[in-house]
Every structure is written in C-alpha cells, then in structure tokens.
Amino acid sequence: MDRELLRKELLRLLENETGVPRAELPDHLGLREDLGLDSVDLVSLVMQVECQFRVRLAAEELTALKTVGDLLTLMQAKLAPASAAA
C-alpha cells in the first residue's frame, strides 16, 4: 500500500483516538513526545491499526516504534506480503 495513503488513514485514526485534528503527520514526529500519546493511547491506536488493516503487530515490533515514520514503515512491511499475494 502506498505510504501516503497509509499516512492519511493513520492521521484519521489518530484524530479519532486523540480528538485533535491535524493538518499533516510528518515522519519525524515522535508518537509519545510530539503527539502526546501515552501507553494506553498507543495500545488503542495499535488495536485500531490491526483491525483496520487486518495485520498483527508483535510486542517486540511495538517497542521499536518511536516516530510516525517508524509506524508507517512497519505498516508497509506488514501489508507488503498481503499485497504481493493478491
């Protein structure tokens, strides 16, 4: 799936989660520091991502997520095999 389409969907999910509308979501933004997500917010966001895209994100993968770009890259990697098989 195209990174920009993933970014738009992630932006929508974040706005639903936080209630804060955002015009953009650059890769360098920190999930905790810049977006203000705590551990409960992150778990909820991950659950929404898993449900929306029908992927599973392992706990060890989640510990490496620091920025929006990290999450987008992980989502692309998870969705790549499904796209190739279709």
- Residue extents of the structural domains in the chain: 3-80
- Class for domain 3-80, per CATH? mainly alpha
Q: What is the pLDDT along the chain (86 residues), one digit of tens a residue?
A: 789 999 999 999 988 888 888 888 999 999 999 988 998 988 899 999 999 999 999 989 988 899 999 999 999 999 886 555 54
**pTM of the predicted model as reported, rounded to 2 decimal places:** 0.84
Q: Determine the 3-state secondary structure of 22 from DSSP.
A: coil
